[in-house]
Structure 1
């Protein structure tokens, strides 16, 4: 069971009167300590497995590098297809077979984490395969379609086997795919590309809020980073868009924090506020030093007020 499902089960026991809130906290603490205590043999086995996977990948790359240029397009495609099949089959076997895929609240064992890494590698091989097939026709936008195809595979891999590495891979590929589709394929300007990335950040916020990103803090972190990148891209030609949209990201973070208390939300909101205010003051004051000093002083005063209120509430 995942941490979230355990927490939900404990809450039900408290609601039913089986456990008191104090007993719930004690059980949750004990479960957390048990999960963080990893046997030394298991730790060494996990390290060895990841190192072995890295060496296998490195060996494959060395073999390909020594003969890659001698292969024609068909030979390269067949080689990549074989790699993709091998990675998918190996990942499925490590995960526990097809019956272990697309299962919610599956235990995050060492083999399953390693399987998730293999799925990500398969997605990267798909990108290489699509890129080679399209680039052979002289299409300058081959990278866009390659990244988009890799995104589809990575998203399916994450849906089959949720993991942090799969989530991060999907986030990077989604960011690249959206920017490429809007900028290179559709030919839109920086403002439109930035707004598209901002919408993508909103989708990540929604996925995290409804429990479709695991762990939630990573999903929220991806949402914040994607939205902030979109806000900055939108203001390449006119800075006003950057700090206006960045302020919107900050307000979104604080709104979500009021509902779901994840530290990454309040930290992201604080970073977004600092970035928006700094850019706005820098733009409005024509880069005046006095205005920057005023921002520092007002920020220090606000920090002091917040600290006093927190300490008073604690007392």
Structure 2
């Protein structure tokens, strides 16, 4: 809606400047309205898409209930076989819904259709189903190792699904599974405590930052959001026994956000950096002053001053650039 108002205002300005005539303005407006109507999905197609999602949800929910009621009565091989069948069905279902193998692995999708959106959800569910399949197949007697292997395999599968059809559901699935895989692998290989798991998540967050920066992920804002969230959680986990490392590393995450923002103006970076600064400052003041109320008030005052100064400088810069 806001974009339509801006387009209309720009066209009116061109008429006022004599670039367009009133008749030409009407013709352009009619063409834009026709294009908008052409791109708007018909009600029947929208209802069909919603019905497909509801059907898939009911199918998975019903299957989950059946398995839950008979899970203890099934042998491990039977459980794994059932989930393997579900995984295969979801993969081939996603390929069929997308329109065949030829549609996959063609980079960014410009305006994904309802079929492609549904296919991406099926691929994401297939990765989760594969997680259960692998964990169930090798989990008898060694649950920790099974979980570690399953999360790694599922993360790789989610990555393949994402690059087959790049979409937000696929990216979020990759994020969740990779964040589960890191602590699971570190626990099995090194039997580490929370601080070192936090370091592992920081490394993972740095990897998400780097991949997003070089354009691996189409959804720029989502890639940076995931990187910030994983990094901040990792920084906080390092402060299991001492807050010093937590707030120092959180401050480093904020610095990374602002450094990236200087080169790539994504609003998520400056918002995430500001949130990381707030968390880091609050923890630092809490530890250094032993929770003194006066110190907390001082942080509020400094924050208000910085905000006002930043707003004034931004306003002046905007006037200068006009």
Please confirm whether the aligned pair reaches a TM-score higher than 0.5, indicating the same fold. yes
1:161 maps onto 2:196 in alignment = no
Secondary structure of 2:215's counterpart equals coil
Deviation at 1:148, TM superposition (A): 1.8
Residues 160 and 229 from structure 1, CA distance in 2 versus in 1: closer, same or farther, beyond 3 angstroms?
A: same
1:57 maps onto 2:60 in alignment = yes
Deviation at 1:43, TM superposition (A): 2.5
Is the contact between residue 190 and residue 237 of structure 1 (CA under 8 Å) also seen in structure 2? Answer: no
Q: What pairs up with 1:182-201 in 2 under 5 angstroms? A: 182-201=186-205
What is the distance in 1 between the residues matched to 2:274 and 2:134? Answer: 41
Q: What pairs up with 1:1-315 in 2 under 5 angstroms? A: 37-107=40-110, 108-315=112-319
Residues 230 and 37 from structure 1, CA distance in 2 versus in 1: closer, same or farther, beyond 3 angstroms?
A: same
TM-score by length of 1: 0.85
What is the distance in 2 between the residues matched to 1:124 and 1:285? Answer: 46
Question: Paired residue for 2:3?
Answer: none
- 1:19-74 deviation per Cα after TM superposition (whole angstroms, max 9, x unaligned): xxxxxxx9xx99x9679844433332222221111111112222323433332122
Query: How many equivalent residue pairs?
Result: 288
What is the distance in 2 between the residues matched to 1:222 and 1:33? Answer: 33
- 1:204-256 deviation per Cα after TM superposition (whole angstroms, max 9, x unaligned): 11111111112110000000001101100111122111111111100110111
Unmatched runs of 5 consecutive residues or more in structure 1: 1-25
Is the contact between residue 102 and residue 159 of structure 1 (CA under 8 Å) also seen in structure 2? Answer: yes
Is the contact between residue 127 and residue 157 of structure 2 (CA under 8 Å) also seen in structure 1? Answer: yes
Stretch of structure 1 that moved more, 189-198 or 33-42: 33-42
Question: Paired residue for 1:23?
Answer: none
What is the distance in 1 between the residues matched to 2:42 and 2:269? Answer: 33
Which protein is bigger by CA-based radius of gyration? 2
Deviation at 1:138, TM superposition (A): 3.9
- 1:93-134 deviation per Cα after TM superposition (whole angstroms, max 9, x unaligned): 112211111111234111111111111111111111121122
Residues 246 and 138 from structure 1, CA distance in 2 versus in 1: closer, same or farther, beyond 3 angstroms?
A: closer
Unmatched runs of 5 consecutive residues or more in structure 2: 1-28
Residues 38 and 271 from structure 1, CA distance in 2 versus in 1: closer, same or farther, beyond 3 angstroms?
A: farther
Secondary structure of 2:122's counterpart equals helix
Question: Paired residue for 1:15?
Answer: none
Deviation at 1:272, TM superposition (A): 0.6
Secondary structure of 2:250's counterpart equals helix
What is the distance in 1 between the residues matched to 2:38 and 2:291? Answer: 51
Deviation at 1:140, TM superposition (A): 3.7
